[in-house]
Every structure is written in structure tokens, then in C-alpha cells.
């Protein structure tokens, strides 16, 4: 007997068909990254760069097949977050939501950094330093203000920029194909699997966006048919466009392509369209990046708003502006975090960090798909199935053959295992293969690149656990006896618990960033740790103060507790500088070879 559970959204109009959803996915996927990534990919693989695009396409085909299966079984609005929540419950679904927000905030920070790099080619004053900082602040301030003033204004900004970002790319490909030099795109040797894997880890950024278009699954006509067809069609269109862009850029610039990391397509366009072509591509890159940032600030803060409404984050995060009726606090917080990240690092590094968060989210979703199949969860209509199709195991075998360039017994044995598993497991093989693909891509990341996702997930888990503990709220309201409030919550829980553990976690994370040569992000992590530490300190002190005011015993104890609380505030200010010095000292000692 099939289980439906929470598989329907009442009250939503199912109006999205294949053409509309396909266009939405292509729009969400093709963004500012493709204006920059060709040079970074060429620096790693040279003329063999199209291989990375093909492998990304194969990997994403396997991953989105899992999305298609899950989308046809769970037609809740929410996309990947909804799939994971139905499969594994609220906590894991919450972590998926956190990863989705982290993916978006890192991605928008990276795109904003790329936007400023493009503008710097015309206005060198903003290339670095104070000029870059001011421009980033102005961009996020302007877009946050637009979106705070109303959803209609924000959505209108996104819609008006959609066509403008695609036309320059189509012009670049349609004209540039006639100027490709065959010798510039020929490659004599197959690149090694490590280089391919590291390139795919970076390039997967260009293929992200499918999950954003799947959020309105509750508004899709016949999701069992529409979702899979739309994502496969969108992925095919996107892959062909990307490979054409890479071939034109490589074919025109040759080995020089890797040198133009800020605007490779603009440089290539200048070779066959002159200064006008370069200006068109630069304008397209800037418009695309601006549109991406605008769209993100329109949608992503709603995740923070939802967390505030559910009580995981402070209630203020769910505040709605009294005039504009928008989540202004959530929008402001999201914009500030994204701006800080953009100032602190580069597009390439932020893109990799965003990719890791996205791949972890994909891992959750693929595992959820397996669970949904096992439990036979169904929405309205028959679920999407590959029972009679061999395309997925064939793609998996092709993926193995592409990864291992040398003919070995291992790869053929692996191909045989995949085909045998496909025969016995049927459609369950899809999420299992997708999990393997995601793990393979993630295996090429470094420990420091995992640090941000791990750090955020630990904090999110702690906040989720605290929300479910009535004891935390009772202390805040001063409902716990003064001795317990002071000695257990103030001294033991905060002093020996939160303070020490947060300090240790931030120290180790900052050390990893210093080892990776990124002191700005290390400083950002330290700032986050201090903010959390101060928040926990406020929680402890407020609870003690309120408990002291309600104390029914001898008045002297109430007075002493409040005096100790006031002295604690003064001492904490003096200890702030010591904490910074301590973190920096240990981080540098751990980061030293």
C-alpha cells in the first residue's frame, strides 16, 4: 500500500508545464559563473576542458534523475528541502534547508566578487582595497533596499535582467564559432583523473540552479511527467550552450585563455567583434551577475525568515516590515553576511565552498530518494520510474570509463557491478549511483574547503537542539532558581561549555583557512565565533539577572548575583582582546607546516 504522508500542498494552483519549468531551470542555471569559469577550467585542463563539462553533465544527469524521482513522489512546495524532510523528518530536513541557504549565500558572495572584478576592468579604482569594499557594500545595500520595499519590485528587477544575460552568450557562440582555430582545441593526451575531479568540483558551480527551480513543485502540472522532462531538457540545453562557449573561447584564444581570469569571454569577443563585442560581453556579465545577486536577495532570506518563524533562530528574524510587509530583518542579515564573504575572498574560492555545500545537499536528496522509493511514497499520479530504461546504468558505466583514462581490470569490474546492481535493484540504483558520484566529486576537496559547511552544520544542529529544550527558555525568562542559574548555566554551561567549545572550534577552523592561505576568511570565522560567544554570554547573564530579581531568599544573595553579573560584563570586555590574541596564536601554530 502506498504512503502519501505530506505529499500534497492544498490551495496552490498547478499551472507550471514543461516549457515554463524548463525555461525557469535554464534561467536559474545559466548565470554569471559561465562568464568566468572557462579560464579557470582551461588553466587546469587546457584544450581538454570540454571533458569536464561532459562529466559534469553526466554527473548532474544522475543527480537530477534522483531529483526527478523524488519530485514525482513528493509534490510539496520546497524542492529538495521538502524531499529530505518527508524522507527523514524535520531535523534532517532542517539541515538540508541550512545547506540550501549556505549554498546560496556563498554563491551570491562569489558572484558579487566576480561582478566587481568585471567592473574593475572598466573602473580600475574598484579592483581592490577600499574601492572594492565600497562598491560591494553599495551593491548589497541597494539590492537589499529594493527587496525590503516589496516583493513586486524585487521580482520585476529579476525578470527585466533575464533576457539581457542570455543574448550576449548567444551572440558570442553564434559569431565566435566561425573564428575557432582547430589547432587551438586539439589535445594530444588524456588528463589524469585527479585533474578532472578537481576541475569538476569547481565547474559544478555552473550547473547549480536545478534545485532552485524545483521549489514550486506544489504548483507543477502532473509533476510525475513534468519535473523529469523539464530537468532533462534544461540540462541538455545548458550543457550544449556551455560546451559551445568553452570551445569558442579556447578556439579563439588558445593557451592565452587561462591568463584572462577576470573576463575570458570578453577578451575572446574582442578578437572577433572588436571593442564593441568586448563591451557587450562585459555588460552581459555585469547584468547577469547583478541579476543573480538580485534574485538571491529576493529568495534566499526567506529561509532565514522560516527559521525565525519556527523558533530555531531568534524571533526577530521572522519580523515583517509594518509598511512593506517583507522580512526586512532576514533580508538585511542575509545581505550583510553575503557582503562580508564577498569582501573576504575571491570568486574561485567561494564557488568551491558553495559547491561543497550544494553537493552535501545533493547527497541528502539522493539518500532521501532511495528512502522514498523504499517506503513507496507517492504523490498524485504514478511516480516517475526508469524500470524499462537502461539509460541510467549506461551513463554510470560511461562515467566510470571517463574517469579512469587507462584500461584497467578495475574499471571494467566496476562497470559490471553497476550493471548487475541495476538489474537487481531497478530504480533504486539511481540514487545509489548518484551518491557515489557526489562522493567522488567531494573526495577532491581539501579539509579546509569542508570547514565552512561543517562549522555551519554544527552551529545549526546546536540551535535546533536548543529550540527543543524548554530549559533554555526557562533560564532566559528567569524561571530557574538562582543557584542553578548562576552556577550551572553561568559557570558550567557557558563558562566551561559554550565558551571553551566555540573557542576551540573557531580556532581549528581558522587554522585550516590560514593553512589554505586565506587569512580573511579565518578572520571571518573568528568574528562569527565571537558573535556566538557573546550571544551565549548574553543568554547566561540575562537569565541570571532575571533570576536574581525573582529570588525569594535573603536579599544579599540577589544583590551579590547582580553585582557579579555586572562585573562579568566588564571583565568580558577586557577578555575580548585576549580571546582574539589566543585564537590567532594557536591558529598560526597549527597552520604552520
8 Å CB contact between 541 and 490: yes
What is the sign, positive or negative, of the torsion defined by CA atoms of 547, 550, 554, 558? positive
- Would you state the pLDDT for residue 8? 45
Q: Note the pTM of the prediction, 2 decimals.
A: 0.79
Interval 377-396: pLDDT, tens: 776 666 666 654 455 556 55
The whole-number average pLDDT for the span 144-162 is 61
Interval 175-224: pLDDT, tens: 999 999 988 888 877 788 788 888 999 999 988 876 555 554 555 666 66
Q: Which stretch of 69-83, 334-348, 576-590 has the lowest confidence by average pLDDT?
A: 576-590
8 Å CB contact between 399 and 414: no
* pLDDT reading at 460 higher than 50: yes
d(CA 490, CA 481): 12
- Would you state the pLDDT for residue 11? 46
The whole-number average pLDDT for the span 401-417 is 56
Q: What is the mean pLDDT of the chain?
A: 77
- Would you state the pLDDT for residue 105? 92
Query: Which range has the top average pLDDT, 148-152, 247-251, 545-549?
Result: 247-251
d(CA 190, CA 360): 29
Q: Residue ranges of the domains in the chain?
A: 18-371+386-442, 469-591
- Would you state the pLDDT for residue 17? 67
Does the 18-371+386-442 domain belong in CATH 1.20.1740.10? yes
Q: Which three cell numbers stand for residue 133?
A: 569594499
Which residues fall within 8 angstroms of residue 388, CB to CB, at 6 or more apart? none
Beta-carbon neighbour count of residue 208 at 10 Å? 23
Interval 509-527: pLDDT, tens: 777 777 777 676 676 677 6
Amino acid at each position: 500500500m502506498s504512503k502519501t504522508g505530506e505529499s500534497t500542498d492544498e490551495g496552490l494552483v498547478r499551472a507550471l508545464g514543461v516549457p515554463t519549468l524548463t525555461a525557469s531551470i535554464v534561467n536559474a542555471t545559466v548565470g554569471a559563473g559561465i562568464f568566468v569559469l572557462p579560464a579557470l577550467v582551461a588553466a587546469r585542463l587546457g584544450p581538454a576542458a570540454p571533458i569536464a563539462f561532459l562529466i559534469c553533465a553526466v554527473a548532474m544527469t544522475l543527480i537530477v534523475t534522483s531529483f526527478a524521482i523524488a519530485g514525482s513522489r513528493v509534490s510539496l512546495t520546497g524542492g529538495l528541502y521538502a524531499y529530505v524532510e518527508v524522507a527523514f523528518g524535520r531535523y534532517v530536513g532542517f539541515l538540508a534547508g541550512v545547506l540550501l541557504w549556505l549554498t546560496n549565500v556563498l554563491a551570491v558572495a562569489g558572484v558579487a566578487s566576480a561582478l566587481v572584478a568585471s567592473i574593475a576592468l572598466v573602473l580600475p579604482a574598484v579592483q581592490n582595497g577600499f574601492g572594492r569594499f565600497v562598491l560591494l557594500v553599495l551593491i548589497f545595500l541597494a539590492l537589499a533596499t529594493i527587496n525590503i520595499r516589496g516583493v513586486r519590485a524585487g521580482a520585476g528587477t529579476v525578470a527585466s535582467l533575464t533576457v539581457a544575460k542570455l543574448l550576449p552568450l548567444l551572440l558570442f557562440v553564434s559569431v565566435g564559432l566561425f573564428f575557432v582555430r582547430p589547432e587551438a582545441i586539439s589535445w594530444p593526451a588524456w588528463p589524469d583523473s585527479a585533474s578532472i575531479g578537481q576541475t569538476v568540483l569547481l565547474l559544478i558551480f555552473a550547473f547549480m540552479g536545478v534545485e532552485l527551480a524545483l521549489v514550486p513543485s506544489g504548483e507543477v502540472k502532473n509533476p510525475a511527467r513534468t519535473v523529469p522532462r523539464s530537468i532533462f531538457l534544461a540540462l541538455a540545453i545548458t550543457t550544449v550552450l556551455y560546451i559551445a562557449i568553452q570551445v569558442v573561447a579556447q578556439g579563439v584564444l588558445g593557451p592565452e585563455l587561462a591568463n584572462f581570469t577576470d573576463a575570458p569571454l570578453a577578451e575572446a569577443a574582442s578578437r572577433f567583434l572588436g571593442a564593441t563585442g568586448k563591451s557587450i560581453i562585459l555588460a552581459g556579465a555585469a547584468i547577469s551577475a547583478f541579476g543573480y545577486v538580485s534574485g538571491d536577495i529576493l529568495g534566499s532570506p526567506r529561509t532565514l525568515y522560516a527559521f525565525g518563524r519556527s523558533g530555531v533562530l531568534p524571533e526577530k528574524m521572522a519580523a515583517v516590515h509594518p509598511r512593506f510587509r517583507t522580512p526586512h530583518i532576514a533580508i538585511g542579515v542575509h545581505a550583510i553576511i553575503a557582503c562580508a564573504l564577498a569582501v573576504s575572498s575571491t570568486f574561485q574560492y567561494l564557488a568551491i565552498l558553495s559547491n561543497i555545500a550544494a553537493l552535501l545537499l545533493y547527497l541528502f536528496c539522493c539518500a532521501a530518494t532511495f528512502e522514498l522509493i523504499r517506503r513507496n511514497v507517492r504523490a498524485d499520479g504514478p511516480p516517475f520510474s526508469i524500470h524499462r530504461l537502461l539509460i541510467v546504468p549506461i551513463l554510470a558505466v560511461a562515467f566510470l570509463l571517463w574517469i579512469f583514462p587507462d584500461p584497467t581490470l578495475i574499471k571494467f569490474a566496476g562497470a559490471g557491478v553497476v550493471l548487475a546492481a541495476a538489474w537487481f535493484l531497478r530504480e533504486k540504483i539511481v540514487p545509489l549511483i548518484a551518491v557515489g558520484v557526489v562522493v567522488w566529486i567531494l573526495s577532491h576537496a581539501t579539509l579546509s574547503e569542508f570547514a565552512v559547511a561543517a562549522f555551519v552544520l554544527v552551529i545549526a544542529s546546536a540551535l535546533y537542539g536548543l529550540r527543543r529544550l524548554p530549559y533554555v527558555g526557562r533560564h532566559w525568562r528567569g524561571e530557574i532558581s538562582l543557584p542553578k542559574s548562576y552556577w550551572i548555566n553561568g559557570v558550567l554551561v557557558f563558562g566551561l561549555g559554550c565558551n571553551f567549545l566555540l573557542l576551540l572550534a573557531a580556532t581549528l577552523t581558522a587554522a585550516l583557512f590560514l593553512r589554505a592561505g586565506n587569512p580573511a576568511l579565518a578572520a571571518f570565522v573568528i568574528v562569527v565565533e565571537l558573535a556566538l560567544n557573546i550571544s551565549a554570554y548574553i543568554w547566561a547573564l540575562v537569565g541570571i539577572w532575571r533570576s536574581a530579581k525573582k529570588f525569594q531568599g535573603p536579599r544579599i544573595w540577589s544583590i551579590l548575583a547582580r553585582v557579579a553579573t555586572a562585573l562579568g560584563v566588564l571583565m568580558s570586555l577586557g577578555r575580548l582582546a585576549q580571546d582574539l590574541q589566543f585564537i590567532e596564536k594557536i591558529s598560526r601554530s597549527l597552520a604552520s607546516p
